[in-house]
Structure 1
Amino acid sequence: MWLIVGASGYLGSYFLKNILEHTDDRIVATYCSTPPADDAGGRVSWRPLDLAKREQITALGAELAGVTEPLRVIVLSAIHHPDKVRENFAQAAEINFIGLTALLGALPAGARLWYVSSDVVYGESVEKHFFRETDPVGPVNAYGRQKVVAEQIVLAFGHNVARCSFLIGPSRIGRPHFYDVIASTLRRGDVMEMLADQYRSAIDFDQASELILRLMQRFPHDRLGVVNIGSDQPLSKFEVAQAIARAHDLPESGLKPVLFGDSTFFADRRARDILLDNSKLKRLLGLDRVVCRF
């Protein structure tokens, strides 16, 4: 049995897709505000869960207390946007690590959990350094600092952390993602500015969810600690947008490269480059390459 906390979001929808396609397991999936209509033929049971509401955490914990089969948990819920975390730090903390702690305490003792975190905990890749999981963290903004606290709590409970790079892919939830915005902008013939000198180990939603699920299935009881989830080849957002254009046979002429130092996209500070060493991931799963798929 699976519990996906935050299943109604972009990445959560891909976890649902891959669990349903590759297993016969039942899924308890949580949403924050509006319940999705699809229950995948009865295999998905939707539950409301706002991590800022303790009564909902308590109710979910009471329901799961009676589960006798192995419970595998994926936690995705968080306030992700760095600028929103900066504007409402205390409100974000209620979800990003205070509510997370309450959730961890409410789960059955035998539950095995993976927390999906972010590469932003590392900070800046100075001189194109590829971060290993053992490197010290040094986030440059409030969102990154909250993710560090959340990771430490998860690890203290004996669970595992997946540090994902920049995630992208077509939306499966009816709300356009950055991927869809790029495609629709180019399809209209409009111009879109894209950062050309900020690099991340970008990976698509589908593959990231597949890799984490494979780790969970291959190592159901192991304490692996932190595992970087990213592709081999760093990409700028400009290069990502070019790949999306080519995948949909759209003109690349609408993409305008912008330098990181000249951009006005962000309110809070961002690291320019965050590059991930994914050798631990490849060793654990016996992979030769991990390439972002479009």
Structure 2
Amino acid sequence: MFKVAIVGASGLLGRALVRELQTQTGWQVVQTAFSRVGPQQVALDVRDARAVVDFVAREAPDAIVIAAAERRPDVCEHDPAAARALNVDAVRHFAAAATARNAWVLSISTDYVFDGSAPPYLPESTPNPLNAYGRSKLEGERALLDATGNALVLRLPLLYGPIVSWQESAVTSLVPAIRAAAQKDGKPALMDAWATRYPTFTPDVALVIRELLTRCADGDAVRGIAQWSGDEPMTKYEIAQRIARALGIDANLIAQTEPADATPRPRDCHLDSGRLEALGIGRRTPFDAGIRAVLDAFEAQHPRA
């Protein structure tokens, strides 16, 4: 029986992947979590090399998907050592442990390994990260691929999907400000209109990963670097406009046309998804449909949020 370990199964992408793999009969799925450990999950601190080695030896997975990471650029900038522990050292621990049993490893990376000056970016394009987050993820990519030839780095852009709080995604984190800007006496919400993003639906990414796992189970694993991205370019200002429309509110949004983040961010890191498309892998849910589904599901569970 093909056995998959999902590392970071309680996070935004991890949960979507668990739901997707529930449709896959005949596989055994082991989930790990750290801060929010569910009843069907194994508690695992990925920063603990011995704990990782013991977990892999005990569970003996055929494939490992590493979805645990520090993804907040501002947090990485202020505490690069903590970012490295999750984004580099943990990946190295899993790579070493997986090599001992020849398990295939898929590690999630980011479009922020690029500087955003010359999109679209191919998997083989030269990285040039602008911030600590991008640097740590690039170092994690190299740690994995240097340790084992039986691995795939999957670069992804801005993610959104079913959430447990508005703040879980940089897309849905805009909702409170949008709602406040729609109040009669509310202040206008200033939204970035400088950087172009490609919001990508986590259930679509989960399907991509399932298809990659299927290839691995069939003895035809994809290795090296691949990328997947939504294909609708939009700034956060445009994302906010579309969220307001989905919420049915008229919010006072102001476009900010110059970069204002304390942590430097790239302007346009559009990822070329051609390698996976050529394999017949992928799905893209239109943003308006995806965000409507996310908003409806969250508000049904949290009517006063």
**TM-score range with shorter-chain normalisation?**
0.7 to 0.9
**Who is 2:249 aligned against?**
250
Query: In the TM superposition, what is the alpha-carbon distance from 1:201 to its structure 2 partner?
Result: 2.4
Any conservation in 2 of the 1:203–1:230 contact (CA below 8 Å)?
Answer: yes
Query: In the TM superposition, what is the alpha-carbon distance from 1:53 to its structure 2 partner?
Result: 1.8
1:47 to 30, 42, 57: 42
**Who is 2:128 aligned against?**
138
Instruction: Find the aligned partners of 2:101 and 2:79 in 1 and give their Cα distance.
Output: 33
1:214 to 211, 214, 219: 211
Instruction: Find the aligned partners of 1:3 and 1:246 in 2 and give their Cα distance.
Output: 39
Any conservation in 2 of the 1:260–1:272 contact (CA below 8 Å)?
Answer: no
**Who is 1:117 aligned against?**
109
* 2:147 matches 1:150: no
After TM superposition, list the pairs within 5 Å mapping 1:163-178 onto structure 2: 163-172=155-164, 176-178=168-170
Query: In the TM superposition, what is the alpha-carbon distance from 1:267 to its structure 2 partner?
Result: 2.8
**Who is 1:73 aligned against?**
64
For residues 93-126 of structure 1, give each alpha carbon's deviation from its aligned partner in whole angstroms, at most 9, with x where no partner exists.
2222122212221235231121110000111233
1:11 to 5, 10, 13: 13
Query: In the TM superposition, what is the alpha-carbon distance from 1:141 to its structure 2 partner?
Result: 1.1
TM-score (norm 2): 0.81
Any conservation in 2 of the 1:48–1:56 contact (CA below 8 Å)?
Answer: no
After TM superposition, list the pairs within 5 Å mapping 1:271-282 onto structure 2: 271-282=266-277
Deviation larger for 94-103 or 168-177: 168-177
Partner amino acid for 2:42?
Answer: R
- Count of residue correspondences: 277
Instruction: Find the aligned partners of 1:260 and 1:168 in 2 and give their Cα distance.
Output: 24
**Who is 2:86 aligned against?**
95
What residue ranges of structure 1 are gaps of 5+ in the alignment?
A: 40-45
Q: For the structure 1 residues 185 and 82, does the alpha-carbon distance in structure 2 shift closer, same or farther, using more than 3 Å as the test?
A: closer
**Who is 1:42 aligned against?**
none
For residues 164-211 of structure 1, give each alpha carbon's deviation from its aligned partner in whole angstroms, at most 9, with x where no partner exists.
011122304797544443334444535433212210222111212212
The alignment's C-alpha RMSD in Å is: 2.5
Q: For the structure 1 residues 273 and 92, does the alpha-carbon distance in structure 2 shift closer, same or farther, using more than 3 Å as the test?
A: same
Identity between Structure 1 and Structure 2 (%) = 26
Instruction: Find the aligned partners of 1:36 and 1:54 in 2 and give their Cα distance.
Output: 22
What residue ranges of structure 2 are gaps of 5+ in the alignment?
A: 292-305
After TM superposition, list the pairs within 5 Å mapping 1:228-239 onto structure 2: 228-239=227-238
After TM superposition, list the pairs within 5 Å mapping 1:261-276 onto structure 2: 261=259, 263=260, 266-276=261-271
TM-score (norm 1): 0.84
Any conservation in 2 of the 1:230–1:290 contact (CA below 8 Å)?
Answer: no
